[in-house]
Chains A and B, each alone.
Chain A
Amino acid sequence: MTYNDAIRRLPTRINGLDQVALGGLPEGRSTLVTGTTGTGKTLFAIEFLARGIQHLDQPGVFVNFEERPEDVRRNAASLSFPIEQWERDRHWAFVDATADAEDGGEVIVGNYDFGGLASRIEHAVRGIGAVRVSLDSLGAVFSRFPNSAVVRQELHRIAHVLNRIGVTSVITAERTSEYNGVSRYDVEEFVLDNVIILRNVLADERRRRTVEIVKFRGTTHRTGEWLFTIDPKHGIVVMPLAFLTPLAVASRTRVSTGNPGLDEMCGGGVYQDSIVLLTGPSGVGKTLTGLGFTAAGIAAGERCLIFALDESRAQLGRNAAGWGLDLDSMEASGLLRIVCDYPEVASLEDHFLRLRQLIEEFQPTRLVMDTLSALERVVTPRALLDFVLSLGAVVRQHRVTTLLTSAPSGRFTPQLTPAIAAEIASLTDVSINLRYVESAGEIHRVVAVLQTRGSMHDPSIRHVTVDSEGLHVGERVTRVVGILSGNSTIPGVPWLLAESPEPEEQQSGE
């Protein structure tokens, strides 16, 4: 901790937030957390204290203007934060500043200030040696005291006291709309230094929670909105970085993709903790490859999980039966679990949480997700990238060999912007492309392995045939150019076979 690095950080230990905040909240300062109703401000204020107590042994003072302490205790109990216990242990103290609802009422006659509150907070902080303070929420203060100018000035006094006694604080405030101004009563003026905005946006008929660090004065932070969820068990979980804890050891064990030809092209199967991205237009054989990948796992006595989007269980079963695979009996064996969902039935975060829960409970060694592209209908490319990042972290942690399929040129779906497609590809370990090519009046399938991290692979483009037995990798394709650059931006159009030889290429060849 050096002094030239002017502002130190206090890790919040809220899931994923510190990574976005590059270490935590500015230490010894106040951070304004604003959001419209239902964005999770109170939860943020509670968790800020709770995580400090749980992980860093830092006592906290909760100043409540709106909800009574018993309500806060009850809400926190659902996240298994034992506030009453903490109060007994002097880790947590309330400064109850709610209005008196039961009695005769409250009237303002003449001038006043918040000296009383400031004094109580200071007393509570010293009493338990608090490191953190949460104030929730300023909206209640403004509605109680009609003169906003006085309230602002007095809140400035409170913020000043908090800074003087050296605590790091979170102050919540209401906003009236998602993208206008910072807070409702211009309270940002007094804690302008650090501002976090929580949002709960309805976009394309989907709810989406995001957290954005608007400013941390004098320090850096990550920009942009970050998806977060409110998990009944884990509270606030900011994606995608919440789970990105690097694995100590990368697996050296190779497993089969279920297709001998693909195994060979990948240099003898894929590493056990790999994420394999299989891209190709619809109908080219992605689902078939996924089923083969699953069958290989089942045959080896491994648990497999299929997360199918866009196909019903019945359709999937019928397709599998067409290739001689009996999903019903695989399921009956207890080794296979299939989840079929249309992307629209839940938000991306809910899909993610469900998948994560399944992975934690079922402990599969293989996961197939078919297809990622179906999710594009319901989310932005950016959110999809976050999803893949988060999923990647979970499957790596549990060492699940994962096959993701994607149709980059989906005929009915908005396509990924190239930058996002490239980013998703960079997150995966193995990248396989299935393509159509046109040759002599016929459509052929070809396959290419574009990347296998940490391993050699076959650089050639090979023919692929599909019959009742499944998908077969065949001869090397020699006369085609531009398969891969024949790009994914022309939806549904197969790559043209360039029959014309390119002289230079031929000379430099064999």
Chain B
Amino acid sequence: MTTYFFRLFVFGQTERSVAAQANLRMLCESLLPGRYRVEVVDVAEHPDVADQERVLATPMVVRMAPLPRYRVIGDLSDHRRMATALGLPEEAPPTPLGDEA
């Protein structure tokens, strides 16, 4: 069973950061229940980690494992597009809360 590992880069605890975290976790819960891990990195606190990933825009999520790595920039408000962009399994399409259908 593959475990997914995502690293989410945010800058401070802004509304945008919070939204990105919530959207990512929600998607993972529905598509990868029990087999995912999310690490949130605040660029302001860990700039060296951000350097490794060459972070420009935030929020940005990187699928660290499994390879290959995918990067998605933005607050992840469109779950379907986020799932495709992160290369997640397609079964059980999620229904995002409060977003466009």
B72–A115 contact, CB under 8 A?
no
Instruction: Tell me the complex Cα distance, A115–B9, Å.
Output: 10
Interface residues of B in 60-101 (CB under 8 A from A): 60, 63, 68-78, 81-82, 84-85, 87
Contact (Cβ within 8 A) A109 B51: no
Task: Report A-chain residues with C-beta under 8 Å of the C-beta of B18.
Answer: none
Residues of chain B within 8 A of A141, CB atoms compared: 56
Contact B12 A104 (CB under 8 A): no
A94, chain B: closest CB distance, angstroms: 9
Q: Which of A98, A106, A120 contacts B51 (CB 8 A)?
A: A120
Interface size class on chain A is 20 to 34
A123 at the interface (CB under 8 A from B): yes
A116 touches B78 (CB 8 A): no
Cβ distance B42 to chain A, nearest Cβ, rounded Å: 9
Contact B43 A112 (CB under 8 A): no
With A107-B81, A107-B85, A120-B51 in contact, do A115 and B71 touch (Cβ < 8 Å)? no
A93's closest neighbor in chain B, by CB? B51
B4 within 8 A of A: no
A114 within 8 A of B: yes
Contacts of A82-133 to chain B: CB distance below 8 A: 95-98, 100, 103-120, 123-124
8 Å CB contact of B73 from A103, A104, A106: A106
Whether B58 sits at the interface, judged by CB under 8 Å, is yes
- Contact (Cβ within 8 A) A119 B11: yes
By the criterion CB–CB under 8 Å, are A115 and B77 in contact?
Answer: no
Residue numbers in A under 8 Å from B69 (CB-CB): 100, 103-104
Chain B residues near A112 (CB, 8 Å)? 16, 57-60, 73-75
Contact B51 A116 (CB under 8 A): no
A145 within 8 A of B: yes
Q: Once the chains bind, are A111 and B71 in contact (CB under 8 Å)?
A: no
A105→B71 contact, CB < 8 A: yes
Residue in B59, B60, B84 with the greatest tally of chain A CB atoms within 10 Å: B59
Q: Number of contacting residues on B, CB 8 A?
A: 37
Report chain B residues within 8 Å CB of A100: 54, 69, 71
| Secondary structure dominating the interface of A | mixed
Q: Is the CB of A119 within 8 A of B78?
A: no
Q: Are B47 and A120 neighbours in the complex by a CB distance under 8 Å?
A: yes
Chain A 442-468 residues near chain B, CB threshold 8 A: none
A97 to B56, CA, bound (A): 6
**Which of A65, A110, A118, A145 is within 8 Å of B77, CB to CB?**
A110
Beta-carbon contact of A110 and B74 below 8 Å: yes
**Residue picked from A109, A112, A119, A145, most chain B C-beta under 10 Å:** A109
B residues neighboring A (CB under 8 Å): 9, 11-12, 14, 16, 19-20, 23, 43-44, 47, 50-51, 54-60, 63, 68-78, 81-82, 84-85, 87
Those 4 A-B pairs whose CB atoms lie nearest each other, nearest first: A115-B11, A110-B74, A116-B58, A107-B85
Taking A116-B43, A119-B11 as known contacts, 19 extra A-B pairs with beta carbons closer than 8 A to each other, sorted by chain A number, are A95-B51, A103-B70, A104-B70, A106-B72, A106-B73, A109-B78, A110-B20, A112-B73, A112-B75, A113-B58, A114-B56, A116-B11, A116-B56, A119-B44, A119-B50, A120-B47, A120-B50, A145-B57, A154-B57
A selection of 13 A-B contacts at a CB cut-off of 8 Å is: A103-B70, A104-B87, A108-B72, A108-B73, A110-B23, A112-B74, A113-B57, A115-B12, A115-B14, A115-B58, A116-B60, A119-B44, A141-B56
